[in-house]
Each structure stands twice: as structure tokens, then as C-alpha cells.
Structure 1
């Protein structure tokens, strides 16, 4: 179980913004706001985002999770380890091979990581829907080109006391032809001159009412999310299962 805990701490280190819904970023400039609005429309629109109840996806390191946006329940799995947790109450249970280990030091450690894990893993899936969240400082940086040479509008993102790592900075490249995010770059510190990574944001496909991207490859390192799903219902018992569940479609 030690390797699981180490991975959770590592993945949470790149979470830039809490996943809050709806409001415009107070510090966004008009051009940045217009680009962000275009992205939201291209991916299905605010009504589609707000009405989608469940999101499910694989994440790096063998994680799988299902997030109930309505109740804030979060079902998380890695190998034979399972956690069922509520993001509002910060209460939940952790199971190893179906046995409740919540009261053990290892189980408590997992519970402590679940909120930052959700922030991080969800941001990697739905960041384009969060460009105008409260606490996001969004600026238009001008025109640029993606790693593939496509003309893009470049957005800069910093954060005002939100998320678990508000010192991060991002650049988001929006394809000028499609209005979709094509690429993002992550800077651990807002003052960093060079990003820690630059990744594609591609392989879009329709999931329910939403257009979501599975591809997160670096220039020479393939990476993608599998089992991406958006749904209004899930099978009974999925969000409280003590063992890994069948991936939802």
C-alpha cells in the first residue's frame, strides 16, 4: 500500500485549482473571457456541464474514479484498494480486498489524500470547463502555435488562494479553428520561465452531452486516459462498492 500513498502525494502536487462551478473569474480580461466562452461552447456548453451528473475516468498509475457531481460522492480505486468518500463531509471508508481498513493508519492516510486527489485528477480531465472559476486569474497572452504547429490563442492561468497548490501557473493553447483546447503547459511556480511539462490535450470524443479529451501525451511520451464516461445514472451499489467495479460506459 505504500506505493499507492506515494503516488497520491505526487499526483496532488500538480493540482492548480479547486473544481468550483459556474462563476466568472474576477481577474479575467475580456479577450481571455471570450476565448474561454468559446471553449465552453465547443465542449458542450454550461447547461450540459451543469446537468451531467457522473464523470468516470482512468488516471495515471492505474487509478480509476467515479465522481457524482450532484452529491459530491467520490469512488476511487487502485488495484485492490477502494475508497468511497464524500467531498463535502470529508467522510468515507477505505477497503483493501473488500476489508474495511478505514481506522488503520494506512486507511486514514488514504482518506486524507482523497480531496487533493479529486482536485488533481478531475482538473486533468475537465480543466477547460474551469477556466472561469472563482479564484482563477485568466489572461490573454496573444497568438501562438501548438507543438503540432496549429495557430492558437494562448491563455495564462494563475490562482488566487484556491486549490491545494495556488502557486502553480498554466498556459492553455486554444485551437483558433476549432475553439478546443489543444495543449497545456504546467509551471510549478508562477515565476518559472520554463514549464515542467507541455502536453497535448486531444483525442476528443463525445460522452453524453460533453466533448472530452483523452489524450495527454508529451512530445515524445504517449499518455491518455481510458474508460472516460459521462452519465446521468450508474448501476446500483457502484458508489458504495467495497471492491473494484466494472467500468461504466
Structure 2
């Protein structure tokens, strides 16, 4: 399965609150709260406005968490879209192709693209979101042998792939997510993949991980940035932009 095939339950409306989910058991919630603190805290997550990152397959995107604006690029395509209004424009080499079949196809995929690609970047901040059924599965060990608290995640009719299930392994020493496993269906006995969640670095007020390697296959999210401002015109640019720092 390709990296982009794993969706999630990222919701724009609850993207900044860190609000506890009534469906989560207390021990799972406590572990999730520890993760939030280790990665910078709920206030830092809420107050960070822009997130930018490269995703597998040559995609680069900038998300304005405050307005819902989403700037997305791949190859010769650029899209400027709003996740609240579901309106936007698509450009190829600077030419507006929004009304064409190809442009319409891109516009129709931008919300699912944001949900999927964002989940690969910020999933640890979403553990306590409404609609997430979070359970504590006990103690375990990561692929690297580190002691971990194991969380199970299923979803209550949120996101574009609510039938997914995840296992999230939180390092008991650091409080950081070290690993995740993705199950396309909640009833699946074996995951489609199990990947590291590592190579943490400070970006603005947040601690974010770039490493997403499988046991024998390196993979990484590149050009991660968290910022309060971006250069003027970036979110409406019709051409690929200089990646923000």
C-alpha cells in the first residue's frame, strides 16, 4: 500500500482545540495528554497558524489553520483552495484550468488530500479529537524494542475513511509517538503497514517528526515548517512557491 492510501479523521473544526473526547478511556486520554505536552502543548498547537510540508509523491502544501486556506503543489499543478468553503482554483504552469475536467478532478480531491496528508504530519495532536475512539491496549514494545504504551484508534463517522483503525505506540520514557500501524478496516487482524514515527525536530513552538520509515524502507516528510506568517502572496500564488522555513 502506498503512503498516500492511509486516510485519517482529521477535522478542520476541531483542529486546534485539543478537546478531550468523551469516547476515550481515562488511561488512553492520559497518554494522549502526555503526547500533546511532549510535542509542545495544546496552546502551542492552537496558536500555530501555518504548517507546511512535503508529502510522498512530490506534493508540497501549506495549510493556514486559522482561515482554512490550503495551498497545494504537485509537478506543474498548483491549487489554492479553502477547506471551509470548498472553493478554489487550479493552475497548470500558471494558467487557470479550474473549469476543465482535469482542474475539477483536482478540486474534488483537495479536501481528502488535506485530510490524508495532514494526518501523516499531525496525528499525535489529534488523539483526543471528537469522533476518535481512543483505547488503552496495554504495554508493548516498538520495532526498536523500546517500552511503549499502546493506543488503539477507531473513528465514529468522521473523516473520509472512518473504517480505518490505527495502533499508536507512545514511548514510555519520552512521551512521544514512536510508531504507528495502519489497518484499512477496523476488523483487520494484521496492519497494512507499521512505520516509525521519529526524527523529531523543533518547528516554531511544536516538536514534529519527519521519519516515517518502515522496518526496511526509508521514508520521510521533508521541508516541514510551522510559522505564524508566510510571505505575501504565497497562499494565492499561481506558480510553485519557495518552500517556507
For normalisation by structure 1, the TM-score amounts to 0.95
**Residue 194 (structure 1) shift:** 0.2
Contact 2:10 2:118 in 1 (8 A): no
Asked whether 1:14 is paired with 2:6, we answer yes
Looking at structure 2, the residues matched to 237 and 174 of structure 1 have their Cα atoms a distance apart, in angstroms, of 39
Report the equivalent of 2:82.
86
> Equivalences for 1:107-186 in 2 at 5 Å?
107-186=103-182
Report the equivalent of 1:246.
242
Report the equivalent of 1:3.
none
Looking at structure 2, the residues matched to 79 and 189 of structure 1 have their Cα atoms a distance apart, in angstroms, of 32
Looking at structure 2, the residues matched to 226 and 64 of structure 1 have their Cα atoms a distance apart, in angstroms, of 9
What's the CA shift string for 1:95-131, capped at 9, x where partnerless?
Answer: 0000000000000000000000000000000000000
**Residue 24 (structure 1) shift:** 1.5
Looking at structure 1, the residues matched to 123 and 47 of structure 2 have their Cα atoms a distance apart, in angstroms, of 17
Report the equivalent of 2:22.
26
Secondary structure of the structure 1 residue equivalent to 2:145 = coil
**Residue 200 (structure 1) shift:** 0.1
Superposition misfits of 4+ residues, deviation over 2 angstroms: 18-23
Looking at structure 1, the residues matched to 110 and 6 of structure 2 have their Cα atoms a distance apart, in angstroms, of 14
Contact 1:98 1:243 in 2 (8 A): yes
Report the equivalent of 1:42.
38
> Equivalences for 1:194-209 in 2 at 5 Å?
194-209=190-205
**Residue 14 (structure 1) shift:** 1.7
> Equivalences for 1:228-239 in 2 at 5 Å?
228-239=224-235
**Residue 16 (structure 1) shift:** 2.1
Contact 1:15 1:120 in 2 (8 A): yes
Contact 1:18 1:164 in 2 (8 A): no
Report the equivalent of 1:216.
212
Looking at structure 2, the residues matched to 207 and 102 of structure 1 have their Cα atoms a distance apart, in angstroms, of 34
What's the CA shift string for 1:183-224, capped at 9, x where partnerless?
Answer: 000000000000000000000000000000000000000000
Looking at structure 2, the residues matched to 16 and 93 of structure 1 have their Cα atoms a distance apart, in angstroms, of 25
Looking at structure 2, the residues matched to 199 and 229 of structure 1 have their Cα atoms a distance apart, in angstroms, of 22
Asked whether 1:69 is paired with 2:61, we answer no
Gaps of 5+ in 2: none
Secondary structure of the structure 2 residue equivalent to 1:205 = strand
**Residue 180 (structure 1) shift:** 0.1
Contact 1:26 1:136 in 2 (8 A): no
Looking at structure 2, the residues matched to 16 and 170 of structure 1 have their Cα atoms a distance apart, in angstroms, of 9
**Count of residues paired in the alignment:** 240
Contact 2:40 2:207 in 1 (8 A): yes
For normalisation by structure 2, the TM-score amounts to 0.96
Report the equivalent of 1:4.
none
Gaps of 5+ in 1: 1-6
